[in-house]
């Protein structure tokens, strides 16, 4: 089905138009969403975001223009994925076992390592929201400075500055708590 026919069907309230839109652009919208989310949330949440993009097209058919549907869907997908990441940035996980308390059968030193992981987690959680998000994206989700800058719509130098500031703050906190020695 041609793009113009898809738009006309959606504007007429015909669900066949939405099906055509999804058939044509589902892989693209999914790729946009997952390139932003990476592994930051469960698959079901990512699928929900993809569905929300198509629901936005259904609810706002006047925004769909022949020749620019793909760009519009991509912009909506990016915005919805970024918004969801911002919502969860307060609770992005570091390690699943970060708060596990070792038992008596665990190797020597395991308790100390668990306490250190907990301290690092608390220190990261103390960073301001955007700095924490950048820090987790870079060091936990292994995103490059360029990827972070692009996805968060920041300058690369801003991302580098915030990473440096985050490292300095973590070093300060961990030194105060006695987990690091001052050099």
Q: Residue 124 belongs to a domain with what CATH number?
A: 1.10.10.10
Percent of the chain with pLDDT over 70: 83
Residue-number span of the structural domain to which 25 is assigned: 3-90
pLDDT surpassing 50 at residue 72: yes
pLDDT of residue 93: 47
pLDDT surpassing 60 at residue 166: yes
pLDDT of residue 100: 47
Using CA atoms, how far residue 154 sits from 25, 44, 143, 146, 162, in Å, is: 28, 28, 14, 9, 11
Q: What is the mean pLDDT of residues 74-94?
A: 74
Clarify whether residues 68 and 146 are in a common domain.
no
Clarify whether residues 74 and 114 are in a common domain.
no
pLDDT of residue 69: 93
Q: How confident is the model at residue 179 (pLDDT cuts 50, 70, 90)?
A: low
Q: What is the mean pLDDT of residues 116-126?
A: 78
pLDDT digits (tens, 9 = 90+) for 3-29: 999 999 999 999 999 999 999 999 999
Clarify whether residues 68 and 138 are in a common domain.
no
Return mean pLDDT, the chain. Answer: 82
pLDDT of residue 135: 85
pLDDT surpassing 60 at residue 49: yes
pLDDT surpassing 60 at residue 154: yes
Clarify whether residues 68 and 33 are in a common domain.
yes
Q: What is the mean pLDDT of residues 98-110?
A: 53
Place of tokens 């105060």: 176
Clarify whether residues 10 and 85 are in a common domain.
yes
Higher model confidence: residue 113 or residue 46?
46
**69's tokens:** 């549907």
Clarify whether residues 49 and 128 are in a common domain.
no
Q: Do residues 14 and 34 make contact, with C-beta atoms less than 8 angstroms apart?
A: no
Closest C-alpha to 171, from 157, 160, 159, 182: 182
Clarify whether residues 51 and 125 are in a common domain.
no
* DSSP letter string, 54-94: HHHHHH-GGG--TT-HHHHHHHHHHHHHHHHHHHHGGG--S
Supply the pTM of this predicted model.
0.51
Clarify whether residues 81 and 121 are in a common domain.
no
Q: How far apart are CA 54 and CA 77, in angstroms?
A: 9
| Total of domains in the chain | 2
Domain end, chosen from 90, 124, 155, is at 90
């Amino acid at each position: 089905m041609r793009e113009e026919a898809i738009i006309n069907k959606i504007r007429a309230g015909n669900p066949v138009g939405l099906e055509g839109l999804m058939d044509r652009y589902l892989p693209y919208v999914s790729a946009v969403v997952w390139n932003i989310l990476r592994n930051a949330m469960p698959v079901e949440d990512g699928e929900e975001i993809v569905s929300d993009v198509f629901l936005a097209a259904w609810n706002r058919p006047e925004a769909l223009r022949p020749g620019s549907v793909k760009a519009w869907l991509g912009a909506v997908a990016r915005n919805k994925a970024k918004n969801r990441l911002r919502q969860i940035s307060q609770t992005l996980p570091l390690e699943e076992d970060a708060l596990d308390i070792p038992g008596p059968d665990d190797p020597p030193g395991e308790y100390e390592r668990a306490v250190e992981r907990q301290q690092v987690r608390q220190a990261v959680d103390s960073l301001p929201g955007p700095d924490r998000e950048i820090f987790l994206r870079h060091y936990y989700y292994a995103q490059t400075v360029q990827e972070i800058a692009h996805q968060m719509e920041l300058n690369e130098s801003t991302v580098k500055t915030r990473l440096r500031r985050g490292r300095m703050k973590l070093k300060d906190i961990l030194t105060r708590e006695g987990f690091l020695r001052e050099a």
